[in-house]
């Protein structure tokens, strides 16, 4: 049985009331709260939660990584309110067709001024409405508290993943155990806390370890570098984040007590990994997981070097198996199915998370070597089924990218007429190359069925906040 | 700086992020600026790139970046 959030807050507030629990940085400065302050404020929020509008749907929390936001999140969870996390830079609240609206939220809580930019159909509250004013006894609901998060989904709309708070706390224990986090650590989260990596690897891991949490309320490299100098021992970022950090700081001028650097949100290229490791003086460890499952595999500190290209070994409590994938050219690869200690409870719009045996199909094509190292050969939706042939679009991208006037490319599958898929390429071109020339180039290097059916010339590839190419937006915008 | 956003050139006081830029685009622009306007000396060029990356998130206007470039 995992300790509850309130148990954890009580433990730290009693043992080290005056130690800083969380500091949030912005260009205007840092604000901090001690464990005693955080416990008091979160308990008061729990007490005010009974004043929130009633409604079947979750409370949508607009997550800006501020102390007020963290306080409200903890308070609502303590009060057993269902909470749906969205990051502050989002377009869902203005889009009445979005998954957030389909969840029929009882209200939206966020930073001041939110209501002016969002749909009038929702009820808005500021963090301040919950962090200040009279508070009663915590209104504890009868049900287990749930945290909902958006997931990119597959080819369709976004979906909402449900996790119990106990699951989130369990996920924090896994990070703590794998990476040896303690109360002397300072965990610096440079990614949004609304997503699984920041929420579990950052907030929950710090809570279970009693570590100090550092966050950024607005991405700014000077503030980030200041956080690194200010005692961060663990940092969480994305491949792009590491690229920025490496670009902005010479090794000789970067003093820090950093001992652990974690990367998630997308594949970490060898180039960025090497550049960041050189600048930070430590190896960057990859986390491979999903919103649905939590951590699946990771690399961690050990004396033996990790094989190139591996995302590490399976985490504690992960059961896995591979589904045969006869149609691909990879004899030893298969689709990864996993069952973790932090499995989701299901999607908001449908009950079952799996086909029945508790395993989640990651959709990723992987290979596992004899020593248990996991290699991701192709990520979810990264094959396109063309008439029964599974084409790896990453390979097509690589081939097309060899054209000297292709700056960026995304290749993806889209539904054609009937139930078939076809290959689309969205491409950023420089110089005078046009679609005709590009297709001529493709045909000289690819089998006819591998040549994109459609080429969209775009000015930039749409990306998610974590830097992944958003195939969903590509499909929607080019429909 | 508008080019990378498929926009007309930004005015000196237009903020890159306000105009629709993101971190990835920013990296692209800064590399281009260093190649086009930076010093020939590679160590100095690297220093300029570092300063620009930092400056971009403080004040992402052409005017502010020009001040940084002007020092090299």
CATH code where residue A64 lies: 3.40.50.12780
pLDDT tens-digit series, residues A56-70: 789 999 999 999 999
A243 to chain B, minimum CA–CA distance in Å?
9
3-state SS assignment for residue B32: helix
Q: Does A443 map to a domain?
A: yes
| A121 and A233, same domain (yes or no) | yes
- How far apart, in whole angstroms, are the C-alpha atoms of residue A430 and residue A409? 12
Confidence of residue A154 (pLDDT cuts 50, 70, 90): very low
CB contact under 8 A, A244 and B53: yes
From the list A244, A277, A279, A278, the residue with the least C-alpha distance to A262 is: A277
Which chain B residue has the Cα nearest residue A26?
B58
Least confident range from A178-182, A251-255, A381-385: namely: A251-255
| 8 A C-beta contact, residue A79 and residue A85 | no
From the list A448, A443, A376, A454, the residue with the least C-alpha distance to A421 is: A454
CB contact under 8 A, A248 and B53: yes
Residue A402 burial (10 A CB sphere; 0-12, 13-18, 19+): exposed
Q: Does A339 map to a domain?
A: no
A87 touches chain B (CB under 8 A): no
Q: What confidence score (pLDDT) does residue A6 get? A: 92
Residue in the block written with tokens 């961060």:
A232
- How far apart, in whole angstroms, are the C-alpha atoms of residue A378 and residue A363? 9
Q: Does A331 map to a domain?
A: no
From the list A344, A345, A326, A323, the residue with the least C-alpha distance to A334 is: A323
A250 touches chain B (CB under 8 A): yes
What is the domain-level CATH number for residue A434?
3.30.300.30
| A45 and A174, same domain (yes or no) | yes
pLDDT tens-digit series, residues A224-277: 999 998 899 999 998 888 988 888 876 555 678 999 999 997 778 888 899 899
| 8 A C-beta contact, residue A105 and residue A84 | yes
Contacts of B45 in chain A (CB under 8 A): none
- Nearest neighbour of B5 by CB, restricted to A248, A250, A459: A459
CB contact under 8 A, A221 and B49: no
CB-side exposure of A120: number of CA atoms within 13 Å?
A: 0
Residues 6+ apart with CB under 8 A from B70: none
B46 to chain A, minimum CA–CA distance in Å?
9
Q: Does A137 map to a domain?
A: yes
Q: Could you tell me the pTM of the whole model?
A: 0.80
A167 or A353, greater pLDDT: A167
| 8 A C-beta contact, residue A378 and residue A394 | yes
| A18 and A159, same domain (yes or no) | yes
pLDDT tens-digit series, residues B9-56: 888 998 887 765 667 667 778 888 998 998 989 889 989 999 999 999
The ipTM estimated for the assembled molecules is 0.88
- How far apart, in whole angstroms, are the C-alpha atoms of residue A292 and residue A162? 8
| A391 and A261, same domain (yes or no) | no
- How far apart, in whole angstroms, are the C-alpha atoms of residue A97 and residue A108? 16
Is the pLDDT at A115 greater than 50? The verdict is yes
Residues β-bridged to residue A366: A334, A376
A221 touches chain B (CB under 8 A): yes
A143 or A377, greater pLDDT: A377
Q: What confidence score (pLDDT) does residue A55 get? A: 74
Q: Does A436 map to a domain?
A: yes
CA A54 to mean position of chain CA atoms: 29
Tokens encoding B10: 């930004």
A12 to chain B, minimum CA–CA distance in Å?
35
Least confident range from A30-34, A416-420, B28-32: namely: A416-420
Is the pLDDT at A378 greater than 60? The verdict is yes
- The CA-based angle A285-A288-A291, given to 5 degrees, is 130
- Nearest neighbour of A220 by CB, restricted to B6, B30, B58: B58
A225, B1, B45, B52 from B71: Cα distances, Å? 22, 20, 11, 11
A248 touches chain B (CB under 8 A): yes
pLDDT tens-digit series, residues A332-341: 889 999 999 9
Kindly state the DSSP code that residue B53 receives in the 8-state scheme: H
What's the domain count of chain A?
Answer: 2
Q: Which long-range contacts (CB under 8 A, 24 or more apart) does B49-56 make?
A: B49/A247, B50/A247, B50/A248, B50/A249, B50/A250, B53/A221, B53/A244, B53/A247, B53/A248, B53/B26, B53/B27, B54/A221, B54/A222, B54/A225, B54/A248, B56/A221, B56/B16, B56/B26, B56/B30
Which span out of A67-71, A147-151, A160-164, A279-283 was modeled with the highest average pLDDT?
Answer: A67-71
- How far apart, in whole angstroms, are the C-alpha atoms of residue A146 and residue A57? 11
From the list A329, A336, A287, the residue with the least C-alpha distance to A179 is: A287
Residues 6+ apart with CB under 8 A from A128: A68, A112
From the list A211, A147, A143, A140, the residue with the least C-alpha distance to A173 is: A211
Share of residues in chain A with pLDDT > 70 (%): 87
Q: Does A17 map to a domain?
A: yes
Tokens encoding A479: 């429909």
Neighbours of A242 (CB within 10 A): 24
- Nearest neighbour of A244 by CB, restricted to B6, B23, B25: B23
Domain that residue A454 falls in: 384-477
| A106 and A221, same domain (yes or no) | yes
pLDDT tens-digit series, residues A184-208: 999 999 998 998 999 999 999 999 9
Confidence of residue A152 (pLDDT cuts 50, 70, 90): low
Contacts of B50 in chain A (CB under 8 A): 247-250
Which chain B residue has the Cα nearest residue A250?
B50
Of A225, A259, A286, which residue constitutes the final position of a domain?
A: A286
- Beta strands at A29-34 and A107-110: parallel, antiparallel or unpaired: unpaired
Pick among B6, B7, B23 to test the A interface (most A CBs inside 10 A): B23
Q: What is the average pLDDT across A82-100?
A: 79
Confidence of residue A155 (pLDDT cuts 50, 70, 90): very low
| 8 A C-beta contact, residue A60 and residue A105 | yes
Of A259, A286, A313, which residue constitutes the final position of a domain?
A: A286
| A276 and A403, same domain (yes or no) | no
Residue A62 dihedral angles phi and psi, to the nearest 5°: -85, 110
Q: Does A327 map to a domain?
A: no
Which chain A residue has the Cα nearest residue B48?
A248
Of A264, A286, A308, which residue constitutes the final position of a domain?
A: A286
Is the pLDDT at A158 greater than 80? The verdict is no
């Amino acid at each position: 049985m995992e300790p509850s959030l309130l148990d954890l807050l009580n433990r730290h507030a009693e043992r080290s009331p005056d130690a800083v629990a969380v500091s949030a940085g912005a260009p205007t400065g840092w604000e901090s709260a001690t464990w005693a302050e955080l416990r008091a404020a979160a308990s008061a929020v729990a007490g005010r939660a009974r004043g929130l509008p009633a409604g079947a749907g979750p409370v949508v929390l607009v997550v800006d990584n501020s102390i007020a936001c963290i306080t409200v999140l903890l308070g609502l969870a303590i009060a057993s309110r269902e909470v749906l996390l969205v990051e502050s830079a989002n377009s869902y609240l203005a889009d009445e067709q979005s998954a957030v609206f389909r969840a029929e939220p009882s209200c939206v809580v966020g930073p001041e001024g939110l209501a002016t930019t969002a749909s009038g159909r929702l009820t808005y509250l500021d963090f301040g409405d919950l962090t200040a004013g009279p508070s009663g006894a915590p209104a504890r609901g009868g049900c287990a508290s749930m945290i909902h998060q958006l997931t990119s989904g597959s080819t369709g709309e976004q979906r909402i993943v449900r996790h119990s708070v106990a699951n989130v706390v369990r996920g924090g224990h896994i990070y703590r155990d794998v990476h040896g986090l303690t109360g002397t650590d300072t965990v610096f989260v440079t990614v949004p806390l609304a997503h699984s990596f920041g929420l579990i690897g950052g907030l929950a891991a710090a809570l279970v370890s009693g570590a100090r949490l550092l966050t950024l309320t607005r991405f700014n490299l000077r503030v980030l570098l200041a956080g690194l100098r200010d005692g961060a021992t663990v940092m969480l970022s994305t491949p792009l984040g590491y690229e920025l950090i490496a670009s902005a700081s010479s090794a000789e001028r970067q003093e820090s007590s950093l001992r652990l650097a974690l990367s998630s949100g997308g594949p970490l290229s060898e180039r960025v990994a090497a550049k960041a490791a050189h600048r930070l003086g430590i190896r960057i460890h990859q986390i491979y997981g999903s919103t649905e499952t939590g951590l699946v595999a990771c690399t961690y500190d050990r004396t033996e070097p990790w094989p190139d290209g591996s995302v590490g070994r399976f985490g504690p409590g992960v059961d896995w198996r591979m589904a045969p994938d006869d149609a691909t050219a990879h004899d030893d690869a298969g689709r990864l199915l996993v069952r973790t200690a932090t499995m989701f409870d299901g999607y908001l719009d449908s009950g079952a998370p799996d086909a029945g045996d508790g395993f989640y199909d990651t959709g990723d094509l992987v290979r596992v070597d004899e020593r248990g190292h996991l290699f991701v050969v192709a990520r979810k939706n990264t094959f396109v089924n063309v008439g029964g042939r599974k084409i790896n679009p990453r390979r097509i991208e690589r081939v097309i990218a060899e054209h000297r006037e292709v700056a960026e490319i995304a290749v993806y599958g889209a539904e054609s007429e009937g139930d078939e898929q076809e290959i689309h390429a969205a491409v950023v071109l420089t110089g005078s190359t046009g679609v005709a020339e590009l297709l001529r180039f493709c045909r000289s290097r690819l089998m006819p069925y591998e040549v994109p059916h459609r080429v969209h010339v775009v000015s930039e590839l749409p990306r998610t906040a974590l830097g992944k190419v958003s195939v969903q937006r590509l499909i929607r915008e080019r429909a | 700086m508008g080019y990378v956003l498929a926009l007309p050139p930004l005015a000196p006081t237009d903020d890159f992020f306000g105009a629709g830029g993101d971190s990835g685009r920013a990296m692209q622009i800064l590399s281009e600026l260093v190649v086009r306007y930076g010093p020939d000396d590679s160590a100095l060029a690297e220093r300029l790139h570092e300063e620009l990356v930092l400056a971009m998130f403080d004040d992402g206007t052409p005017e502010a970046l020009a001040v940084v470039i002007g020092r090299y």
